[in-house]
Amino acid sequence: MSNAGPSSGQPPEDTATPEVSLGASKRKPNRKKTTQDNNAAAPSASSRRTKRHSSRKNEDATMKGTEETNGESGIRPANDDGAPGLSDNSEEGGPTRVYDEDDDEDDDPFEGSYLGRHGGPSGLSNTLRALSGMMSGMSSRLRVILENLRAKDDPSVQLIALQELSEILLVSTEDNLAGHFSPDQYVKELVALMQPSEFGEENPEMMLLACRCIANLMEALPASTANVVYGGAVPVLCQKLLEIHYIDLAEQALSTLEKISVEFPASIVREGGLTACLTYLDFFATSTQRTAVVTAANCCRNIPEDSFPVVRDVMPILLSVLGSSDQRVVEQGSLCVCRVIESFKYQDTKLEELVSADLLKAVLRLLLPGSTNMIGANIHTQFLRALSITARASPQLSADLLKMNIVDTLYQILTGVSPPSGSQDIAMKIDKNIVMQALIRTPRDQVFETLNVICELLPSVSREGLTFLDDLFDA
């Protein structure tokens, strides 16, 4: 009886089983297998993968043929899932790479940014790209406008450049101008265009547009107000108000000075702007008058001592402003008076020159309850404070206030009713309930300033033998 031997290249099933179990229990780090191992594991693997598609078997056969042909050529064998490995040394007919981000460099700076690498929205990249192009286009356009503003030999080119600059500044904001706009160069040219030419010729339309460009510049870029002031625009603007040749230009100059007066009031006062704003006040419309008195009120904050002659010349105009029929004009004129008195409260001699008897009468007329509603509660309180400063600074003005029946006015402010007539049984004629209700409705600051005026009107007494509440302590 002869031994049964293998008649083909395939080993028997009883010898293939231990090799498969050995390979399953002991996994080597190197996943590359020889051709003999694949042939030995083929029957066992086929029994476990009977449910797989026939195409997978074709892939195994293809990979086995590839291994025999290439040997150790650097092509990685198929993994456990049957997916072919990827290699940079793949030859023709082998597996190819789908994508390698190390070799594919994009020239677009926005797609190569953080948002592009981490799946940012493509719309944001498009927006950033469009914004960058718009800013570069804006910068080039502004440079062309600046060159056209310097074309003194062609006024028509300058006029077109002024129109374009005015439109750009009108729709611009601080965000899109910062870093792309240098105010000094433009202010220099705009101030020059607001003045007559070398031959003394004036172009009112060009002056108006240049003044409007300065106003739009400060509106779009508030930090440029300092550039406008130091660029010499304030004297030119004041001159347009003192010598009015074109009413539109004067109104635009007044509106521009209002924007400057918020941050640089002393510069306007020093250049005569306070007088310029109020000199021809009656020739303007009501809306322009409001702008003028608002500018003057801003200029009256913390007036320097060297500007006293300018303020002294303006006080008669402020007296006439207090008699205006427009409430806004009266309130801003009242602020001017209060701030002037506040600025010179420590200079008694100069304060006596500024405050006249007619001015005190106008103030008392506005303070009298029920006579007019031209001023609000805030202006009312500031007027009372101005009267207390005036009474403290000048005994002569205190006497004038007493002659003007300021006591009756203060009584009505505190009680809300007219003082009783006659001199007998005054206490019986006063209704305490009405007085208390009036005091409750009166603002606290207004009551305090009213009592302060009374204290300043009374003659001073010696402090010896007096007891003050500040010296009392609780037991």
Is 333 part of any domain?
Answer: no
- Cβ atoms of 95 and 84 closer than 8 Å: yes
Is 74 part of any domain?
Answer: no
Distances (CA, A) of 323 to 273, 279, 362, 372, 375: 22, 16, 8, 11, 12
pTM listed for this prediction: 0.66
pLDDT of residue 127: 55
Last residue of a domain, one of 215, 231, 247: 231
The per-residue pLDDT string of the chain (475 residues; one tens digit each, 9 = 90 and over) reads: 444 444 444 444 444 444 434 344 444 444 444 444 444 444 444 444 444 444 444 554 445 444 444 444 444 444 444 444 444 444 444 444 454 544 444 455 545 544 444 444 555 555 545 544 455 567 788 889 889 988 888 889 999 999 999 999 988 888 877 777 788 999 999 999 998 877 767 888 999 999 999 999 999 988 899 999 999 999 999 999 988 888 999 999 999 999 999 999 999 999 988 999 998 888 889 999 999 999 999 999 889 888 999 999 999 999 999 998 899 999 999 999 999 999 999 988 999 999 999 999 999 999 888 767 778 888 989 999 999 999 998 889 999 999 998 988 888 888 877 766 655 555 555 666 777 777 777 788 888 898 899 999 888 777 776 666 665 554 4
- Cβ atoms of 353 and 315 closer than 8 Å: no
Is 56 part of any domain?
Answer: no
Report the SS3 class of residue 327: helix
Packing angle, helices 377-393 and 357-367, rounded to 10: 140
Nearby residues of 132 by Cβ (< 8 Å), 6 or more positions away: none
pLDDT of residue 160: 93
Is 238 part of any domain?
Answer: no
Nearby residues of 456 by Cβ (< 8 Å), 6 or more positions away: 388, 391, 392, 398
pLDDT of residue 428: 57
Is 392 part of any domain?
Answer: yes
- Cβ atoms of 339 and 297 closer than 8 Å: yes
pLDDT of residue 471: 57
Last residue of a domain, one of 190, 212, 231: 231
Is 248 part of any domain?
Answer: no
DSSP 139-173: HHHHHHHHHHHT-TT-HHHHHHHHHHHHHHHHH--
The C-alpha atoms of residue 324 and residue 448 are separated, in whole angstroms, by 29
* Structural domain span for residue 381: 350-460
Last residue of a domain, one of 210, 231, 252: 231
Task: Report the number of distinct structural domains present in the chain.
Answer: 2
Is 363 part of any domain?
Answer: yes
Is 197 part of any domain?
Answer: yes
pLDDT of residue 431: 64
